[in-house]
Amino acid sequence: MTDTRQPVVVVSGVRKSFGETAVLDDVDLEVLEGTIFALLGPNGAGKTTMVRILATLVPPDSGAARVAGHDVVADPDGVRASIGVTGQFSAVDDLLTGKENLQLMADLNHLGRVAGRARVDDLLARFDLVDAASRLVSTYSGGMRRRLDLAMTLIGSPRVIFLDEPTTGLDPRSRRQMWDGIRNLAASGVTILLTTQYLDEADELADRIAVLDHGRIVADGTPDELKRRIPGGHVRLQLSDSPTLRAAAALFDGATLDEERLVLRVPGDGDVASLRHLLEQLDDARIAVEDLSIDSPDLDDVFFAVTGPPSLEEEAA
């Protein structure tokens, strides 16, 4: 498959240490224009540091990073003119109203009076903040703050957006709203790099995922590619008694029995054709199944498979 889209974010061989600790260790990344790229990893994996390097907040120790054609070290202002950043901690002014925060961003983006005002009103409406527009941000809920934060990032119509854990700490409803907002952005052609520690979030949003662990990329690919790396999908059959269980087990290669719970696990990814075949075999052998369910591997399985089990130290932390 050839992709004609250009890479907008290119990271090659980036290293960064704070003191003795290597936070990023030879990281390579490429994000294509108009796609959503998720950098997935546990706390302390180096996700935020990667975003801070791309956002020109900290320079890498070695290696190179280019955003929209500009080098983050040699031409930080070129990068800044093309990006929008929403960090982990909300970057809003509590002593201003929502509208004033957006107006401040419009002024700093040199939008001009009329265009700036139109853009502010448009974003207030898009992020469902019209009613709260003239309230001080200190009275906003967590979800509203995040929405305002993202709206402020969008004022200058950036080509590339970095979102550092955009939904951490949000309730499920606000999280859904944020996801919709991110999808709409990508649909409008903006390139998005987001970090997350939630596997379902990466699965839900991203075109490509890179798994970062201890400063290294340990796996990358599309969500489906990553899932395919993990064997372990199976169809779970609940049977009524032990003899039936044995009879059923004899039908399938590699099936595992759970005598205690009378459960049979048949390997397979549970697509319609193989499922139909499985049911036909059971019918032919006149075996009645009490219950059937499909367990497909999710990104959690991928995650633990590539990062290994958490060490004791991490579990304590």
Interface with another protein (CB under 8 A), residue from 83, 148, 194, 199: 83
Q: Are 145 and 96 in contact (CB under 8 A)?
A: no
Provide the token pair at 3: 């992709």
The Cα–Cα gap between 252 and 266 comes to 7
85 lies in the site for another protein, by CB under 8 A: yes
Nearest approach, Cβ of residue 28 and another protein (Å) = 23
- Identify the H or E element spanning 261: none
Identify residues 90-119 at the interface with another protein (CB under 8 A). 90-96, 100, 104, 107-110
Distance in angstroms (rounded) separating the CA atoms of residues 252 and 78: 61
d(CA 163, CA 147): 12
- Residue closer to another protein (CB basis): 53 or 182: 53
Which of these segments, 29-37, 54-62, 182-190, 294-302, binds another protein (CB under 8 A)? 54-62
- Considering the rule CB under 8 A, would residue 17 count as an interface residue with another protein? no
Round to whole Å and give the CA distance between 166 and 162. Answer: 9
Helices (H), 127-215: 142-154, 172-187, 199-205
299 near another protein, rule: CB under 8 A: no
Indicate the residue among 31 and 239 with the shorter CB distance to another protein.
31
Applying CB under 8 A, does 8 fall inside the site for another protein? no
> DSSP code of 138?
G
Task: Indicate whether 48 belongs to the interface with another protein (CB under 8 A).
Answer: no
Q: How far apart are CA 147 and CA 307, in angstroms?
A: 32
Judged by CB under 8 A, the stretch of 148-156, 172-180, 221-229, 248-256 that binds another protein is 148-156
Q: Which residues contact 163 (CB under 8 A, 6 or more apart)?
A: 86, 150, 182, 192, 193, 194, 195
- Contacting another protein within 241-280 (CB under 8 A): none
Q: Residue 101 or residue 177: which is nearer to another protein going by CB?
A: 101
Q: Which residues bind another protein (CB under 8 A)?
A: 55-59, 77, 80-81, 83, 85, 87, 89-96, 100, 104, 107-110, 136, 152-153, 156
